[in-house]
Amino acid sequence: MNTESLYQLIEPLLYLADPQKRIFIGYLIASALLAAWVLSRQAQPIKPLIQHCFSKKLWLHPSMLLDLKLIFFNNMLWLLLLAPFFGTQIALALSTKRLLVAGFGAGDMFQISALSISLIYTVVLFIADDFARFFVHYLYHKIPLLWRFHAVHHSATLLTPLTLYRVHFIEMIVNAMRSIFIAGIVGGLFIYLFDGKIAPLQILGISIFSLIFNLAGSNLRHSSIWLGFGKVEKWVMSPAQHQIHHSAEPQHFDKNLGVMIALWDRLFGTWLASENEKVTAYGIGRDVQVKQTLANHLTGL
């Protein structure tokens, strides 16, 4: 086995050191501090949570073991099948510009500072991508064939930050195509409209919106720490709202499909506030038992 192949095998172990991954150690520490704050406000001891995080009961739980298997399995598929296709978003952006030029004439309509272009581009890309994530997620829940694959994510009976990576490879492909499409179209539009370099505002190599999201407790979305945002939930999705989304109770099914912006759920009638709600079990149904094995999940549920 050569060095490159070995790296591909162990790459998920390096997610902790990669700011572009949600389980980057910095984001985990931020979420841990938020969790401690939440528990202190609820007058609950912090020590049991710390002990649980390092317990065999957690790491050997069938749901957790399946999360880990899917992380490594999907990582290999990503490297072998999907990573090469991300170059196509540049081609899509250039094709989008050419179509706009053919239909509406020469572009470069706006000549403003590079910082202004980056700021506008970052905001537009964030909004477009967030809506696309919501809408594709909505389709996962409404189209039976797509739900079969998305159910793999919802079959988790134990939520941890690693549950984020618990996805069927078909869903992974769909999500990758969504990301390429949105980045390509928005990028092409901006190349057409603005005279200047098109680049998002980034810190540590990621969008400022993603950085804020990750530092604001994104890892608590897949956890048992109940953090709601009160009235702000009408505009920003809270970790507690996403836990409702994973609830095994029928009244919580198909609720809170958004990632960051809550407006989409309100427009589509899928929004539910965390106040006065309680989640006691996770999964695709309280009475539905799913065998937590890789073989059982590869064909969808």
| Per-residue confidence (pLDDT) for residue 110, from 0 to 100 | 77
Q: CB of 72 within 8 A of CB of 12? A: yes
pLDDT, tens digit, for every residue of 52-106? Answer: 888 999 999 999 999 999 999 988 887 777 666 667 878 888 898 889 888 888 8
Answer whether residue 70 is part of any domain: yes
Answer whether residue 79 is part of any domain: yes
Answer whether residue 162 is part of any domain: yes
Q: How many other C-beta atoms are found inside a 10 Å radius of the C-beta of residue 92?
A: 18
pLDDT along the chain (301 residues), means of 10: 60 88 94 94 89 91 94 84 71 87 81 86 95 98 96 96 95 93 92 81 85 93 95 96 96 97 98 95 89 90 85
Answer whether residue 141 is part of any domain: yes
Q: How far apart are the first and last CA of the chain?
A: 34
Answer whether residue 299 is part of any domain: no
CA distances from 69 to 12, 125, 293 (A): 11, 32, 9
The answer, as to whether pTM is greater than 0.85, is yes
Answer whether residue 245 is part of any domain: no
**How many separate domains does the chain show?**
1
pLDDT, tens digit, for every residue of 263-286? Answer: 999 999 999 999 999 999 999 988
- In angstroms, the CA 162 to CA 267 distance is 30
Answer whether residue 100 is part of any domain: yes
Q: CB of 184 within 8 A of CB of 88? A: yes
The range of the structural domain enclosing residue 44 comes to 19-225
| Per-residue confidence (pLDDT) for residue 178, from 0 to 100 | 95
